[in-house]
Amino acid sequence: MKLIQKIGLILFLVGITVFTVLPFLGNYTLTETQVRENTKDIHTEKMIEILAPMYGQKYSSNFSFLTDFNKHFNEYNDQLKDQALWDQVIWDDYSFPLAKTALASPVSDNPWLFLFLSVGLAALGGLLYNLPKYQGEPEGVKNNGVFKSSMKNRGWMGMLTGAYLILFYVILYWFPAYLVNLVAMVDPLSVILSGNPASQWFLYGFIYTLAIIVMGVRMFRKYRGNKYQQLRTASVMFFQTAFAFLIPEILVLFNQPYFDFKNIWPLDYDFFYDYQIDTFLSSGGVGMFMLIWGILLIIIGVPLFTYFFGKRWYCSWVCGCGGLAETVGDPYRQLSDKSLKAWKYERYIIHGVLVLAVGMTLLTIVNYFSGFALLGNVTNQLHSFYGFAIGSVFAGVVGTGFYPFMGNRVWCRFGCPLAAYLGIVQRFKSRFRITTNGGQCISCGNCSTYCEMGIDVRWYAQRGQNIVRSSCVGCGVCSSVCPRGVLKLENGSEEGRINELPIIIGNDSIKLNN
Amino acid sequence: MKSNRHVAIIGNGISGVTCARQLRKLDDNVRITLISGESKYFFSRTALMYVFMGHMKFEHTQPYEPWFWEKNRIDLKEDWVNEVDFENSTLNFQSGESLAYDDLVIATGSKPNKFGWPGEDLQGVQGLYSKQDLESMEKITEKGVNRAIIVGGGLIGIEMAEMLSYKKIPVTFLVREKRFWDNILPKEEAELVGRHILEHHIDLKLDTELKEIQSNQNGQVKSVITSAGEEIQCQFVGLTAGVKPNVDFLRETDLEVNRGVKVDSYFRTNIPNVYAIGDCAEFHEAPGEDRKTVEQVWYTGRMHGETLAYTINGKPTAYQPGVWFNSAKFLDIEYQTYGTVPPQWKEDEVNSFYWEAPNGKVAFRMLSAKDGRILGVNNFGFRLDHAFFDKAIKGKWQADQVISKLQKGMFDPEFFAPYHIEIQKAYQKASGRTVQIAKKSFIQKLFGASV
């Protein structure tokens, strides 16, 4: 390893360590004023009363602070629940805003410094590690040593990485109050972009975007000389940075609704939720445009683009989940399960999620127009069930945390309802297919091994058969790793798209009736 | 044919397996047994190098999941065949068991050539063909190898060189010929590959033969002595000077064996109901003008198996290969060939057009007859479409026509450099005739790579 790479690795590890330690710094002191400022009006008086014993006390860690907070808060709520006074129970979670305002730490005093020492060093280290890769070697995609690597072949390093990611997601989604130090660190950045202090989602979006950029650089190095991979990587980097991260924040700065123009229902499952619709409708022309743009994407954009280019136009060129999978997840793509059994499960699960998403959305819309007469409060519970099961557990914890265990497209392959929708169009009405080069396949298995979607590409290639599968995201890696130049991604005429040749080119012994 | 016959196939390589699969497709009742001592399940031999280099695990080289065999009722027998009792139609295995057959298919493949070099059986000296060879190579190169020597400049040799380079083991490559693989490749192509080998810091010694392998006191390889009299210290020697049919266990039986098992164009041997296909078969007459009597290529093995299944199934079918094709990868450079491109040709009978990109890694050659019809192409560093060239060569297209339509014959991914335009321009200049030159598409102008 080159010296620069070693330095990069050290910087990266230092950054990650600082990032991991930061949440434990500083102390917490809560005052009545802070409670007043950070609670909804209807809860203010009650919360001031509940938390009274905590005022002025100095807690030396987030654990002691949040334990005490939860004790007081739960005592109050449990009492009401015991008496079945459901309407008086406080369902809002105030732990995050109160912990954030009560925090006094070196991080909140010097946010830029700590941002540099943690995320900054990790990103810098990552770049220093990735940039000199393959220097002085001829161009060519090499997967040397992938299956001998502890990181990339489910060794202890991979397990550790997976465990770390899962833990991070669990805390981020369900216990964000423990991360207030990290959120404080990105506060000034958030203020610059949107004029508001950061939430845990801003922190997440920032790290997410940076991860795609740093690992995108790795893609440029690894696939140098391969124009398709280069352009595709540049595209996901651009869409994540501009559309998913910067534009929504800047919209907020201009007092417009937060909106990611490339996020499409049903992946964006709350697009039709009542509060979303209300936001669109109450934001004048821009809000109206967002609503119409979103609907046009769903009913015209998806089928039309998918007809012309296959679902790859979204999944491996635009989508944020895809963007992370294609960059951060690239080292793990070979871990996807290619067995027939996995394929069987895949079809049930992904279409199940699609049905669930559509059903839930229909109920929401009907409910909205019936003035909430249909379901009442059940809508909210349905929403929170879907948000928990699909939005958080599947898309987040499993989707990303499982990279080192089951490959980088677990979410896209088994869970994404939009992928299911795009896939149905792709399978039945599209000009896209992967073509195979006559009889040139040697069944070596590189294509199948490196297919992140778990498609047994070789099964088709060794028959000289075009590959038309609803799950294919068109990443093009099968074509890149093929040592015989057998595979090519194509948009052609629908005619001849599905071919089943019993005998492939080169053998004139057997004549077939065609 | 009676449907409940028992077909035993010795060898589960591409030939044997294709034959078994095709047979099952044609006949639901025939009993099929696939025999191999090398590995229980079929794997792609050509992918062994990728297992060594950690691109794949051995399981990944197996094209079918284990349930496939049971589902298709193809019995797998993991054992070595010691001898074939042709008189009693019985196979005797190393384990002591035996198996009766009605039809026998011999598909035992090849083994590495050895030419009686002194020291060729020492520890640390091996070829690369079987799974066992791979395991041996992995063990030997685990540690303590400071230099490796590869003898013989062919496809397995360059694969072995790449494998050893992955382990950062310095490699010296002894090639008897003046240029790399120049018994197959024309001069320019052979030189292109030679340059690329050097670019990978592999010590390519052309025009050099192996004279002797010397051992240390433990019977391990210590050094080799070349025809130039040079002694090179090494701990590993790869013998890759071609392969020969793996048929020694069939010699001294009633079966007619020369270099390989002698077969006619129906893969029939001199014994009824005994057939041979793949690497180990030797045709009485070459199956085509530009073909050899022993075909040792993955693709031909597949076609042998495909064809023989029809004969066994009672529809005697002669082997008629179509237009020749082959492919390989030399380190980072992909190579494909369609039709007939010999290393040398008679200038008064054949026109040659050769184009090479300025980077020296992308090249195209087309040979055509004096009457203008295309004979064959070689391409390096980019991809050409098999179906297109199969049609062009079979249809005896004029060279000008092929070049004019070259865009349709490209198989490179989107956004790749439009090599066909450069080739068309170069062809027009070289031939003095006008051909249609493709235009860059809008996307190519916007994003496409340049040559």
DSSP β-bridge partners for residue B9: B34, B105
Query: Which residue type occupies B440?
Result: K
Q: How far, in whole angstroms, is CA B121 from its chain's centroid?
A: 25
Nearest to A338 by CA among A158, A460, A155: A460
Q: Which of B53, B329, B390 lies nearest to residue A505, judging by beta carbons? A: B390
- CA proximity to B137, closest of B125, B150, B149, B146: B125
- The answer to whether A458 and A441 have CB atoms below 8 angstroms apart is yes
- What is the dihedral sign for C-alpha B423, B429, B432, B437? positive
Nearest to B334 among A449, A485, A505 (CB): A485
Domain ranges of chain A: 27-104
Interhelix angle for A95-102 vs A62-82, to 10°? 150
Q: Are B339 and B321 in contact (CB under 8 A)?
A: no
Rounded to a whole number, what is the distance in Å from the CA of A117 to chain B's nearest CA?
36
CA distance A436 to chain B (A): 9
Torsion-angle region of A349 (φ positive above 0: left; ψ -120 to 50: alpha; else: beta): alpha
Closest CA to B282 of B301, B298, B267, B263: B263
What are the chain B neighbours of A147 within 8 Å (beta carbons)?
Answer: 54-57
CB contact under 8 A, B44 and A443: yes
Residue of B nearest to A504 (CA): B303
Strands B221-226 and B110-112, by their bridges, are unpaired
Geometric angle at alpha carbon A442, from A439 and A448, rounded to 5°: 110
Q: Which amino acid is at B384?
A: L
Collapse the DSSP code of B91 into the 3-class scheme (helix H, G, I; strand E, B; otherwise coil) and give the result: strand
Among the partner-chain residues B60, B310, B329, the one whose CB lies closest to the CB of A449 is B60
Indicate yes or no: CB of B54 within 8 angstroms of CB of A149.
yes
Evaluate whether B352 touches B365 at the Cβ level (below 8 Å): yes
List the structure tokens of B110: 């090849």
Chosen for mutation from B15, B18, B24, B50 (greatest number of chain A CBs closer than 10 Å) is B50
B166 contacts A145? CB cut-off 8 A: yes
Is residue A474 within 8 A of residue A312, CB to CB? The reply is yes
Contact B325 A440 (CB under 8 A): yes
CB proximity A282 to B under 8 Å: no
Distance CA B106, CA B261 (A): 8
Torsion of CA B278, B279, B281, B286, to 10 degrees: 90
CB contact under 8 A, A444 and B331: no
Domain spanning B325-447, CATH class: alpha beta
Per-domain boundaries in chain B: 6-111+244-312, 125-241, 325-447
8 Å CB contact of A144 and B63 = no
Q: pTM of the prediction?
A: 0.94
CB B330 within 8 A of CB B365: no
B125-241 matches B325-447 in fold: no
DSSP state of B438: P
A485: left (phi over 0), alpha (psi -120 to 50) or beta: left
* C-alpha span between B247 and B318 (Å, rounded): 23
What SS3 state is found at A365? helix
Query: Is residue B228 a contact partner of residue B204, using CB atoms and an 8 Å limit?
Result: no
AA identity, residue B439: K
Q: Both tokens of residue A135?
A: 């220097």
Contact yes or no for B13/B246 (Cβ under 8 A): no
Nearest Cα residue to A343 out of A247, A180, A459 = A459
Only one residue has tokens 């997440």, namely A204
Of B165, B203, B197, which Cα lies nearest the Cα of B181? B197
For B223, the token pair is: 């050094």
Alpha-carbon span A65 to A48, nearest angstrom: 16
Q: How many helices (H) and strands (E) does chain A have?
A: 27, 5
- Of the candidates A133, A122, A117, which has an alpha carbon nearest to the alpha carbon of residue A5? A133
d(CA A163, CA A171): 12
* Number of C-beta neighbours around residue B171 at 10 A: 25
**Chain B residues with beta carbon closer than 8 angstroms to that of A463:** none
Distance between the two ends of chain B, CA-based, in angstroms?
58
Q: CA-based Rg of chain A, rounded to a whole angstrom?
A: 25
Position A226 scores a pLDDT of 94
Q: Which residues 339-398 in chain A show a CB within 8 A of chain B?
A: 339-340
Using alpha carbons, select from A477, A163, A174 the residue that is nearest to residue A333: A477
| pLDDT per residue rounded down to tens, chain B (451 residues) | 556 899 999 999 999 999 999 999 999 999 999 999 999 999 999 999 999 999 999 999 999 999 999 999 999 999 999 999 999 999 999 999 999 999 999 999 999 999 999 999 999 999 999 999 999 999 999 999 999 999 998 899 999 999 999 999 999 999 999 999 999 999 999 999 999 999 999 999 999 999 999 999 999 999 999 999 999 999 999 999 999 999 999 999 999 999 999 999 999 999 999 999 999 999 999 999 889 999 999 999 999 999 999 999 999 999 999 999 999 999 999 999 999 999 999 999 999 999 999 999 999 999 999 999 999 999 999 999 999 999 999 999 999 999 999 999 999 999 999 999 999 999 999 999 999 999 988 888 888 777 7
DSSP string, B291-327: --SS---HHHHHHHHHHHHHHHTT------B-S-EEE
The tokens of A229 are what? 């991979």
Among A442, A446, A447, A455, the strongest candidate for a mutation testing the B interface, having the largest count of B CBs within 10 A, is A442
CB contact under 8 A, A488 and B416: no
Mutate to test the interface with B, among A142, A228, A443 (most CBs of B within 10 A): A443
CB A512 within 8 A of CB A255: no
Please give the single-letter amino acid code of residue B34: L
How far apart are the C-alpha atoms of B339 and B393, rounded to whole Å? 7
CA gap A171, A176 in Å, rounded? 6
Q: Are B240 and B160 in contact (CB under 8 A)?
A: yes
Exposure of B35 by Cβ count < 10 A (0-12 exposed, 13-18 middle, 19+ buried)? buried
Class of B6-111+244-312 per CATH?
A: alpha beta
Which amino acid is present at B51?
Answer: V
Residues 6+ apart with CB under 8 A from B142: none
Within 8 A of B411 by CB-CB distance, chain A residues are 437, 485, 488
| Residue A514 pLDDT | 44
3-class DSSP state for residue A414?
Answer: helix
CA nearest to B171, candidates B121, B237, B226, B117? B237
Rg (CA), chain B: 24
User: Nearest CA of chain B to the CA of A450: how many Å?
Assistant: 9
Question: What's the gap in Å between the CA of A94 and the closest CA on chain B?
Answer: 50
Q: Most A CBs within 10 Å: which of B56, B307, B334, B338, as the mutation test of the A interface?
A: B56
The CATH homologous superfamily for domain B125-241 is FAD/NAD(P)-binding domain (3.50.50.60)
Find out whether B153 and B173 touch, Cβ atoms under 8 Å.
yes
The SS3 assignment for A280 reads: helix
Count of CB atoms within 10 A of residue B262's CB? Answer: 18
ipTM of the complex: 0.94
Residues on chain A touching B390 (C-beta within 8 angstroms): 438, 505-506
Contact A444 B61 (CB under 8 A): yes
**Separation between Cα atoms, residue A259 and residue A102, nearest integer Å:** 30
- Which structure tokens are listed for B148? 């490796």
| CA dihedral sign of residues A317, A320, A322, A324 | positive
Q: Are residues A213 and A237 in contact, defined by beta-carbon separation less than 8 angstroms?
A: yes
Are the C-beta atoms of B108 and B91 separated by less than 8 Å?
A: no
* 3-state class (DSSP) for residue B333: strand
Which runs of consecutive H residues, i.e. helices, occur in A298-451?
302-309, 312-315, 320-327, 340-369, 378-386, 399-401, 403-406, 410, 417-428, 446-449
Secondary structure letter of residue B248 according to DSSP? G
Helix (H) / strand (E) containing A489: strand A487-491
- Residue ranges in chain A modelled with pLDDT below 70: 372-376, 512-514
* Dist CA A442 CA B328 (whole Å): 10
